[in-house]
A and B are shown apart, each in its own frame.
With several copies, the nearest count.
Chain A
Amino acid sequence: MDAVGATIRVQTADFDIAAESRALGADRTDIGGMASFVGLVRGTASGRPISSMTLEHYPGMTERALGAIGDAATQRFELQGCTVIHRVGILLPGDQIVLVLTAAPHRQAALDGCAFLIDWLKTRAPFWKKERFADGTESWVDAREADDVTAERWGRL
């Protein structure tokens, strides 16, 4: 299986999914497929236009939580590797927020591992979003009940 383990990064800079895919697959030919999810900043929230979104996190715990989730996904779905990159700071509508990328010998494991990672990341990784609306007001994003329910289907870690 030769898993390379989880690559975890929290950064203000943007990421390039093609470069991350190449890095994950570098120097190996046993990967059958890679699945990914990229979250983007939407231009509206509750129907109101937003001008930007600020992402705050808990340094230290974030990397720890993401690392634990990455390792759990690697074991559970027998991934050959996974990459999780989460941006922080000020982002604009259309910007990339998060990348989850998984590699496995067969597609189902890659797809399931990717869905698992993004579900858990949304409910267990210490990030918080604040939206700035076009009218200048700001508001912290509420956690979605639906995300907890979605994460529950994977069972407790």
Chain B
Amino acid sequence: MRILYFAWLRERVGLGEEQVDLPAGIADVAGLIAWLRTRGPGFEAAFAQGRLVRCAVNQDFAGPDAAIAPGDEVAFFPPVTGG
């Protein structure tokens, strides 16, 4: 699975993109976030502010219940501020 991080999430996590092998039993965005938080203080800091993190699965906005599967592209980022 390809995971992307943008803006301050990218800075906290310390990388913009990574390829991960999803552990068995993780089937939705909420589960992925719970697992990511265990991967170090940067991840813990980034996702502790859960309310302000937005997610896209395969480039569509997705909520915590959205299903994920190996091969998906999942992105995490703050609320958008373009325009």
Which A residues contact B (CB, under 8 angstroms)? 39, 55-58, 60-61, 64-65, 86, 97-98, 107, 118, 121-130, 140-144, 147
| Among B59, B81, B83, contact of A61 (Cβ-Cβ < 8 Å) | B59
Q: Which residue of A lies closest to B59 (CB)?
A: A61
Cβ–Cβ contact B83 & A126, under 8 A? no
Q: Which residue of B lies closest to A128 (CB)?
A: B7
With A58-B56, A58-B75, A61-B75 as contacts: A124 and B7 at CB distance below 8 Å: no
Count CB-based A-B contacts (< 8 Å): 69
Cβ–Cβ contact A143 & B6, under 8 A? no
Cβ–Cβ contact B77 & A126, under 8 A? yes
| Among A39, A97, A126, contact of B56 (Cβ-Cβ < 8 Å) | A126
Instruction: Choose among B4, B61, B81 the residue with the greatest number of A CB atoms under 10 Å from its CB.
Output: B81
Complex Cα distance, B82 from A60, in Å, reads 15
Cβ–Cβ contact B81 & A127, under 8 A? yes
21 intermolecular pairs with C-beta atoms under 8 Å apart: A39-B83, A56-B7, A57-B82, A58-B4, A58-B59, A58-B77, A60-B59, A98-B82, A107-B83, A122-B83, A123-B80, A124-B80, A125-B80, A125-B82, A125-B83, A126-B80, A126-B82, A128-B81, A140-B7, A140-B8, A142-B79
Cβ–Cβ contact A127 & B83, under 8 A? yes
Count residues of B near A (Cβ-Cβ below 8 Å): 15
The yes or no answer to B31 lying at the interface (CB within 8 A) is no
Q: Which residue of B lies closest to A142 (CB)?
A: B81
Cβ–Cβ contact A128 & B56, under 8 A? no
Cβ–Cβ contact B77 & A129, under 8 A? no
Complex Cα distance, B61 from A129, in Å, reads 19
- B51 CB to nearest A CB, Å: 12
Q: Which residues of B contact A123 (CB under 8 A)?
A: 80
